[in-house]
């Protein structure tokens, strides 16, 4: 069996589109998860406990702020891209 004819050479393909798609997917997953967590927390506290609207909203806001601080892009990570 002879060699297969191919124009592919390892390491020479432009992967900018794949990287952009991956970064978008990771970002949507990260921020979407935070939104779901805050929403579930709010609804659970509002309907299943005596916290009421203000207590549930305050808890959801606190979790959202902490999540944004933890999940935002780090300066050294942004410089590497």
Domain segments of the chain as ranges = 28-80
Q: Which long-range contacts (CB under 8 A, 24 or more apart) does 56-63 make?
A: 63/37, 63/38
* Residue 7's pLDDT band (cuts 50, 70, 90): confident
Positive or negative torsion for Cα 55, 56, 58, 59:
positive
Contact, 63 vs 38, CB < 8 A? yes
What's residue 2's pLDDT?
Answer: 57
pLDDT digits (tens, 9 = 90+) for 36-46: 999 999 999 99
Neighbouring C-alpha atoms within 13 Å toward the C-beta of 10: 0
**pLDDT score recorded for residue 77:** 63
- For 14-55, write each residue's pLDDT tens digit: 889 999 999 999 999 999 999 999 999 999 999 999 999 999
How many helices (H) and strands (E) are present in the chain, helices listed first? 3, 0
């Amino acid at each position: 069996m002879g060699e297969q004819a191919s124009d592919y050479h390892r390491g020479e393909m432009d992967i900018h589109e794949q990287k952009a798609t991956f970064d978008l997917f990771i970002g949507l997953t990260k921020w979407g998860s935070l939104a779901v967590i805050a929403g579930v927390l709010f609804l659970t506290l509002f309907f299943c406990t005596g916290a009421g609207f203000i207590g549930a909203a305050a808890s959801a806001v606190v979790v959202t702020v902490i999540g944004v601080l933890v999940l935002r892009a780090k300066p050294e990570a942004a410089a590497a891209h």
